[in-house]
Amino acid sequence: MKKAIVLANGAFPRRSEALQALLQSQLLICCDGAYNRLVESQLFSHASALPEVHVVGDGDSLKPELRTVPPFPTVFVAGYDDQETNDLTKAVRYACTLGVTHVVILGATGLREDHTLGNISLLSRFVGMANSQGVVIKVRMYTDYGYFTPLQETTEVASFPRQQVSIFSLSPDVMLSSEGLRYPLVQRRLTGLWEATLNEALGDHFTLTVEGSGVVLVYQTHQAK
């Protein structure tokens, strides 16, 4: 398994597990504006071994002095300056070229609400994306409060008792059923984002049955209620 962490230009992570993941990352890819926040965080100022950071984007948010004198080993990736996609998409696509199998997205929420909604919705585009070896990657987006996982098929999802769970369907054609949640879904089509929010896991897993073509986003909290 080769895992990449993609750091987006939202609120910088505060949760200790996320900060440790950044320090121990095998491959750290920053959207260009996120590189500014990484440097400002001084996260690597006392690290004994610094990772090589890859910076992807059109460069419009990157401080010029950081490109001239980067404070730690940095690769500024060329060829990702088109305006047809945002920097988060560019970063995930770049990760795929390096043969990763798992992508963890941090810093994609907070600050501007339009960026938050846009970044979360991008998870639907990353489903089915393949790496340079043709292997479909797995993507998950973490916030300080929980994490989003995109699904396209029936899946047994790891959980824990009283974990808070919300489910969002990005297509009205998808029919959902669930087992292991306090409020079961029974062949339900979701037409509003609010309809399957604020549910709760009963045990160490729940099953989400997905019928039809479309993407479902599952949000789970880090802590029990």
Report the amino acid identity of residue 155. Answer: T
**DSSP secondary-structure letter at 130?**
B
* Secondary-structure class of domain 3-144 per CATH: alpha beta
Beta bridge partners of 45: none
* Secondary-structure class of domain 148-224 per CATH: alpha beta
- What is the pLDDT, as a whole number, of residue 57? 83
> How far is the CA of 41 from the CAs of 65, 77, 119, in angstroms?
16, 22, 22
Question: Comparing 3-144 with 148-224, is the CATH topology the same?
Answer: yes
Neighbour count for residue 172 (Cβ, 10 Å): 12
The whole-angstrom separation of Cα 81 and Cα 115 is: 19
pLDDT digits (tens, 9 = 90+) for 27-41: 999 998 999 999 999
> How far is the CA of 21 from the CAs of 40, 178, 203, 206, in angstroms?
18, 31, 26, 26
Q: Are 116 and 189 in contact (CB under 8 A)?
A: no
The stretch 84-95 carries a mean pLDDT of 91
| Tokens at 111, concatenated | 């600050």
- What is the pLDDT, as a whole number, of residue 85? 84
Q: Are 107 and 7 in contact (CB under 8 A)?
A: yes
| Tokens at 103, concatenated | 């992508």
Q: Are 150 and 139 in contact (CB under 8 A)?
A: yes
Secondary structure (3-state) at 74: strand
Q: How many CA atoms lie within 13 A of 157 on its CB side?
A: 34
- What is the pLDDT, as a whole number, of residue 61? 84
pLDDT digits (tens, 9 = 90+) for 59-77: 778 899 998 889 888 999 9
The whole-angstrom separation of Cα 103 and Cα 222 is: 18
Q: Residue ranges of the domains in the chain?
A: 3-144, 148-224
> How far is the CA of 145 from the CAs of 5, 15, 17, 23, 173, in angstroms?
18, 8, 11, 20, 30
